[in-house]
Amino acid sequence: MGWVKINETTYRFEDKGVRFFLLIGLECALLIDSGMQIHNAKELAGELTSLPIKLFNTHTDPDHIGSNDEFEEVMMNPAELVNYHKPHSSQIIIPVYDGDIIDIGGRSLKAIALPGHTPGSTALLDMKSGMLFSGDPIQDGKLFMFGPMREMTAYILSLKRLMKFKEVIKEIYPCHGTCPIDITIVPKLIDGAHKIENGTVVSEPFEIFGHKVCAYDIGVVTFLCDY
């Protein structure tokens, strides 16, 4: 657990099965998610930069918002508000919509909506480097698609649209599993999700956090779905 340097202006923090990122620009720094068991991500980011630190949530599942109460403002796709309970009533939500640009000074990050895992799941694409910070939808670990607000068809449509950016995306930095991964995983995720929808892949029973779910191992990822 701790900061891992990716390059001179990009770091990842490993937080027991989930990770979040710090991107440093010329004017400010941006935390992408804020941890699970960590509750002082902003303080920890201050070890790496003296710039003002802002927060963007890829989505608001509990393992991504552990330090949100450190921030007076948080950026997210407002579709995530159905999932999110403000840690304090004074917190301001800064809406980020598909196609919006977050500029942290010499570093422009393009928001790409990826609904399916959650309604407002959103990746950020560093337009200069081609680094995609994908949140949860693109990974090679266990992808939660059980419970309320998960939608497989929306997930498939999101990934198909993401392939429009395949010439720009150089590497993908997910919040779970291997980091980084290659864009070539995306067609495999689409194919596996289609097979689950069509009933052409067999599931195994699996239990996680007290939930009994169906585990579909498609080779590159295991989808955890409702019965």
pLDDT tens digits, one per residue of 92-120: 999 999 999 999 999 999 999 999 999 99
User: Model confidence at 227, in pLDDT bands (50, 70, 90)?
Assistant: confident
User: Per the domain annotation, does 40 fall within a domain?
Assistant: yes
Q: What is the pTM of this model?
A: 0.97
Residue 199 has pLDDT above 90, yes or no: yes
The number of domains in the chain is 1
Q: What is the CATH number of the domain that holds 50?
A: 3.60.15.10
Q: Residue 202 domain-assigned? A: no
Tokens encoding 56: 């963007």
Residue 123 lies in a domain: yes
Could you tell me if 34 and 9 are in contact, meaning their C-beta atoms sit under 8 angstroms apart?
no
Contact 93, 81 (CB under 8 A): yes
Of 95, 130, 127, 131, nearest to 113 by C-alpha is 95
- Helices 185-198, 152-162: inter-axial angle, 10-degree rounding: 150
The domain containing residue 108 runs over which residues?
A: 2-197
Q: Is residue 227 part of a domain?
A: no
Domain assignment present for residue 212? The answer is: no
